[in-house]
Amino acid sequence: MSRAMTNTTDQALVDTPDYPMPRAAGCPFDPPPALRALQAQAPITRVRLWDGSTPWLVTRYADQRALLADPRISSDTTAPGYPHISAGVRERRTQARTFISMDDPEHARLRRMVTATFAIKRVEALRPAIQRIVDDLIDQMLAGPTPVDLVQAFALPVPSLVICHLLGVPYADHDFFQRNSKLLINRDTPPEVSRQAQATLTDYLDRLITDKLAHPADDLLSRLAHEQVRTGELTQRELAVVASLLLVAGHETTANMIALGTLALLQHPDQLAALRATTDPALIRSTVEELLRYLTIVHSGRRRVALADIEIDDQLIHAGDGVILATEVGNRDEQAFADPDALDLHRDARAHVAFGFGVHQCLGQPLARVELQVVYGTLYRRIPTLRLVGDVADIPFKHDGAVYGVYELPVTWSTTHLSETA
Amino acid sequence: MRVIADQDKCVGSGQCVLAAAQVFDQREEDGIVTLLIDNPPPELHEAVRQAAAICPALAITVLEEP
């Protein structure tokens, strides 16, 4: 190798930025400045991960959509070039594989076993039950002492109660599965701890499925146990792994949207006032879409690997290369959204990629939407004086999470001016 | 306008139903797209275009000419 070439290689190594990148101090809702710079100057470029690998990072919205919908892009977590989030997440995604880590046709076969549950009409039918859950939790908060941590008192229980109701998992076990979910979703969890957490959760659900086979109830686990395990389509263990995915995905993400969304709204009092004053379902719907876009809590990118050479935007991605679609900055692309850094509850943000894009787009998105519509449409109306205790600078943000959010959110309110009814 | 929905490509995200419930529905058994009408009236055209644009599986084709 010539000296010049060595130097070029060294220079390339020095110039390859680390991913993920830190957010700017004082800008907890905005993507890292270094990501914005790449979007402007090097929209498809190599980055360096925790394990020293250098996959492609794609930062523009249009490129992200094109690649996520491209059948030459794979979600196979066992492929050698697949860019894993961390050693812990790699452990889980390779040991306990579900359809989110597979390609078609296997992906479609497995995903279609559970899509009916999340169909729009089915989820819409859950709205009254979700409204009751939200109102009961608000009643309990109002009856208790202040200040209160909104994460523990409200943001986590809402989606946990909903997913337990849907799956048929006893909510009494929530401390147990929330603790294990947290381990599975943190970037920094060591592989052996991640493996143990996944095994513990799968064992628990496996036992529950045995129970559902003997005593079926009107819930998703009972239905899948009878339709898929009894018929031999899935082994009981495979169903337990799918159930663990639904349980984890079903509450961590929505909980983060509730708490972080509330903080974002409290920091934008004009917008919050407009939301609080409305009963217009259209504004509540657009609020959910805009907060999904603005916050994009999946802030470690969507991870893929190329199955063939792909030419895009003057770059050549080779077969076997890892590809990361940084949707957390794609949703702030000015080519896709006018004035992208403004939180504007009235904008039409429906084309956001907060749930991903392509065949792997979030399965539970209709449920997440209804939960968030009920929460954002109820919480600030029933507690109009809800406010943060202390300074936003003191809030612990989940910089280390595969999913972004806040660890706690201390809030209080004035006991006068409470709205009596939902 | 004519609408085509590809049931093999569909992943049941339900985005089309949210965008244009008068045109799109989902099968009871697996949430896969079905068409209620394939030649929507002009007042639904914009909603149908939106549905096609946000479908994550690119399963909806809109033919503007009849």
Say if CB B62 and CB B52 are below 8 A apart: yes
Using the CB atoms, write b or e for A46-69: b if 16+ within 10 Å: bbebbeebbbbbbbbbebbbbbbb
Q: Which residue of B has its CA nearest to A109?
A: B11
The whole-angstrom separation of Cα A304 and Cα A320 is 10
Cβ separation of A351 and B53 shorter than 8 Å?
A: yes
The whole-angstrom separation of Cα B31 and Cα A302 is 24
Q: What is the pLDDT of residue B65?
A: 80
The whole-angstrom separation of Cα A232 and Cα A179 is 32
Any idea what DSSP says for residue A413? -
Calculate mean pLDDT across residues B22-42. Answer: 97
The amino acid sitting at A160 is S
- Using alpha carbons, list the distances in angstroms from residue A373 to A257, A274, A378: 11, 15, 8
Say if CB A382 and CB A418 are below 8 A apart: yes
Cβ separation of A120 and B53 shorter than 8 Å?
A: no
The tens place of each residue's pLDDT in chain A, 422 residues long, gives 344 444 444 455 558 999 999 999 999 999 999 999 999 999 999 999 999 999 999 999 999 999 999 999 999 999 999 999 998 888 888 888 899 999 999 999 999 999 999 999 999 999 999 999 999 999 999 999 999 999 999 999 999 999 999 999 999 999 999 999 888 888 888 999 999 999 999 999 999 999 999 999 999 999 999 999 999 989 999 999 999 999 998 888 999 999 999 999 999 999 999 999 998 999 999 999 999 999 999 999 999 999 999 999 889 999 999 999 999 999 999 999 999 999 999 999 999 999 999 999 999 999 999 999 999 999 999 999 999 999 999 999 999 888 999 999 999 999 875 655 44
Cβ separation of B31 and A362 shorter than 8 Å?
A: no
The amino acid sitting at B23 is V
Name the 3-class secondary structure at B57.
Answer: coil
Tokens of B52: 């096609």
CA distance A389 to chain B (A): 37
Question: Which residues of A are less than 8 Å from B17 in CB distance?
Answer: 119-121
Q: What is the pLDDT of residue A7?
A: 44
CA distance B13 to chain A (A): 6
Q: Which residue of B has its CA nearest to A363?
A: B13
Residue B3 has pLDDT above 90, yes or no: yes
Name the CATH topology of B2-63. Alpha-Beta Plaits (3.30.70)
Cβ separation of A69 and B57 shorter than 8 Å?
A: yes
Say if CB A407 and CB A190 are below 8 A apart: no
Q: Which residue of A has its CA nearest to B17?
A: A120
**Most A-contacting residue of B8, B10, B11, B49 (CB-CB within 10 A), to test interface:** B11
The whole-angstrom separation of Cα A100 and Cα A319 is 20
The whole-angstrom separation of Cα A220 and Cα A164 is 10
- Using alpha carbons, list the distances in angstroms from residue A173 to A33, A159, A196, B30, B39: 41, 14, 18, 30, 50
Q: Hey, how many other C-beta atoms are within 10 angstroms of the C-beta on A3?
A: 7
End-to-end Cα separation, chain A, in angstroms: 72
DSSP H or E stretch at residue A222 = helix A220-224
- Write the CB contacts of A257 (distance below 8 Å, at least 6 apart in sequence): A291, A292, A295, A297, A368, A372, A405
- Write the CB contacts of A42 (distance below 8 Å, at least 6 apart in sequence): none
Q: What is the DSSP track for A102-163?
A: --TTHHHHHHTTTGGGGSHHHHHTTHHHHHHHHHHHHHHHHHS-SSEEHIIIIITHHHHHHH
User: Where does residue A131 rank: exposed (0-12), middle (13-18), buried (19+ CB within 10 A)?
Assistant: middle
Q: Which residue of A has its CA nearest to B47?
A: A350
- Domain definitions of chain B by residue range: 2-63
Using the CB atoms, write b or e for A233-271: b if 16+ within 10 Å: ebeeebbbbbbbbbbbbbbbbbbbbbbbbbbbbbebeeb
